[in-house]
Amino acid sequence: MNSHPIRESFQKGIVFAAIMVFMMLTGFHMIAATMVSKIFGVYVLRGSIPEIRFMAYIHVLFGIGPGGQPAAKQEKHPPGL
């Protein structure tokens, strides 16, 4: 069994998780969600939390990047090799 793609995807997932934890600790996800809400025309009062859907949009956008990288690099090998 070829475990190289699994190991590579796992390493990228660990890096992505570390970056997400850092962004959560610094409060970047709130700033990014507030900016996305302003783009959609929903203004957030100073000191309040933006709607949860805007935070979900940010997490989906951040997840597409690392999730798409391993999927794009899959090589096609002939069966039996």
- Asked if residue 57 belongs to a domain, the reply is yes
pTM > 0.85: no
56 found inside a domain: yes
For range 18-23, the mean pLDDT: 85
58 lies in some domain: yes
pLDDT for 49-59, tens place per residue? Answer: 888 888 888 88
In a domain, 54, yes or no: yes
Q: Is residue 18 part of a domain?
A: no
Asked if the structure places residue 50 within a domain, the reply is yes
Residue 47 lies in a domain: yes
Which residue range forms the structural domain that includes residue 33? 27-69
Task: pLDDT band for 74, please (50, 70, 90 cuts).
Answer: low
DSSP class of residue 48 equals: S
Q: Report the candidate in 8, 2, 9 with the shortest Cα–Cα distance to residue 78.
A: 2
pLDDT digits (tens, 9 = 90+) for 22-36: 888 888 888 888 888
Q: Is residue 52 part of a domain?
A: yes
- The number of distinct structural domains making up the chain is 1
